[in-house]
Amino acid sequence: MTTPLPPKIILQDRYRVVELIGFGGMGAVYLTEDLHLRDKRFALKEVSYSADLDPRTQKQLREQFHREAIALANLDHPNLPKVFDYFSQDGRDYLVMDYIEGPNLKELLDQARKKRELLPEAQVLEWADQICAALIYLHGQTPPIIHRDVKPANIKLASNGVVKLVDFGLVKIFDSADPRTITLVQAYGTPTYAPLEQYGAGTGRTDARSDIYSLGATLYHLLTGRSPANAQQRFLEPVSLRNPRSLAARISPLTEYLILKAMAIRPDDRYQTVEEMIRDLTMARDVSVGRRTQNRLALVWSSLVPHKWLSLGVLALFIVAVLVTLVQPQPVF
């Protein structure tokens, strides 16, 4: 594992590291200040390479990084961080992108669980709608871009209520004719949220349906408070994935249906496109919002129950007043 950069180190005579934000086997993410732009803050995504890789493989990976960095720099979507720059230094590659202040959805889930609560279904589905918009944009690029690591920790909630799909370290430009689209989970993705094909099982080829699986697993975790069984475990023990409503009965049947369809083991059994998934998501949101409205009305009525006779009296007087108005004879001219 590569040693993280120390605070205050300056890269490219421009980016000063403030602190380490995240760290993993493939590199790290830092909060940095841009000395050329009055200390404007950016997130610096570092990609490092194992010393065990042969020079040819490492060269191919670095060439791939530069191709993908160029593609990312051309992206512009409200639910994605903007990539401003990329460079290499001391055997490591870097992406400079928006720094999104605010918690990620994993942190919000953890906060709710400490209170023995679950995140509201309507809110989670609204976030999912925004992530679907980001994925539709990515998958609609030419060639399509596959994120491959959609999970709660990679979705940040900005102060304006907009969610951003972050961590572009694992993106892949999809080429159906290119066997290098194959990815292995020990190097890419998070097992809990990764589909079986991302483990190298079967064809090992990822496409838009792989992101759909990861989004389904993300929704499962956010709405039930429990991470789902991973795809390998499910392949060996299909019953290891409990139905969401058995863990959180308040989840609507339609929401449960779309989660389980998105998480189908076989890609052909999932939603084939995010556009297809978002149709069911829209209906599930409507159901959830309607239920929330009913709950609010019930709450208002329950607050009136201690004064129900007064409330009914006022209502009766109102009805009488309307009837008197209607039956009064009208003047004849």
pLDDT digits (tens, 9 = 90+) for 248-265: 999 999 999 999 999 999
User: Which residues touch 68 (CB under 8 Å, ≥6 apart)?
Assistant: 145, 168, 171, 172, 173
Token representation of residue 47? 């990609």
Residues labelled as active-site residues: 149
Query: What structural domains and CATH numbers belong to the chain?
Result: 10-98 (3.30.200.20), 105-289 (1.10.510.10)
- Region 221-230: mean pLDDT is 96
What's residue 204's pLDDT? 58
pLDDT bin (cut points 50, 70, 90) of residue 183 is: very low
Q: Are 214 and 149 in contact (CB under 8 A)?
A: yes
Beta bridge partners of 28: 23, 46
- C-alpha separations of 180 from 95, 142, 183, 202 in Å: 22, 17, 8, 14
| Cα dihedral 202, 61, 96, 24 sign | positive
User: Which residues touch 292 (CB under 8 Å, ≥6 apart)?
Assistant: 120, 122
| CA nearest to 81, candidates 72, 92, 94 | 72
pLDDT digits (tens, 9 = 90+) for 95-112: 999 999 999 999 999 999
What's residue 187's pLDDT? 42
3-state SS assignment for residue 230: coil
pLDDT bin (cut points 50, 70, 90) of residue 321 is: low
| Cα dihedral 254, 255, 256, 260 sign | positive
- Is-above-0.85 flag for pTM? no
What's residue 69's pLDDT? 87
| CA nearest to 71, candidates 80, 153, 79 | 80
- Helices 253-262 & 274-304 angle (0-180, nearest 10): 160
Return the exposure string of 259-274: e unless at least 16 CB atoms fall within 10 Å of the residue's CB, then b: bbbbbbbebeebbeeb
- Helices 208-224 & 105-114 angle (0-180, nearest 10): 20
